[in-house]
Amino acid sequence: MTSSNDTIRILIPLKVRKKNGRPKILPPADYRPSEDQTQDAHVLRAIGRAWGWRRHMDAGEFATIQELAEAVGLAERHVSRQLRLAYLAPEVLKRLTCGREASAVSLYDLCFLAGETWYEQPTRVFD
Instruction: Tell me the pLDDT tens digit for each residue of 61-99.
Output: 999 999 999 999 999 999 999 999 999 999 888 888 877
Q: Which residue type does 85 have?
A: L
Decide if pLDDT at 37 tops 60.
no
**DSSP state letter for 72:** H
Instruction: Tell me the pLDDT tens digit for each residue of 2-34.
Output: 566 777 777 767 778 887 777 877 776 776 655
Decide if pLDDT at 59 tops 90.
yes
| Beta strand pairing call for 15-19 and 22-26 | antiparallel
In angstroms, the CA 44 to CA 101 distance is 11
pLDDT at 33: 57
In angstroms, the CA 11 to CA 13 distance is 6
Q: What is the pTM of this model?
A: 0.67
In angstroms, the CA 80 to CA 50 distance is 9
* Residue 79 burial (CB count, 10 A): 22
